[in-house]
Amino acid sequence: MSPHAGAAEIPEQRVRDLWTRLTRQMRDGVAEGAIRTLRPGVKRGRRSAPHWVYKHEGTACLRCAARIRAEELQGRRLYWCPGCQVVP
């Protein structure tokens, strides 16, 4: 989903699905000692970082090939895919 979507724009079921996915990722992250957004064994370029878009600015998205963007949002660095993350 778009990182620029307001909370009220996101349908309730999407919020519930996101909660389920994120709490599972956090549990896995505690067990592994790191948050992972790529499946184990999947590599992202030459780096071994286990993240789909985090710190991959300017590289192609693994799903849609759009260039990963980075910007400041609320004082934090935001990495996102403008091809995949378009709707709430």
Q: Which residues bind Zn ion (CB under 5 A)?
A: 61, 63-64, 66, 81, 83-84
CA-based torsion, 87, 62, 49, 40: positive or negative: positive
First to last CA, the chain: 5
Q: CB-wise, 35 or 66, nearer to Zn ion?
A: 66
| Closest CB 1 distance from Zn ion, rounded Å | 12
* CA–CA distance, 58 with 45 (Å, rounded to integer): 12
| Closest CB 83 distance from Zn ion, rounded Å | 4
| Closest CB 81 distance from Zn ion, rounded Å | 3
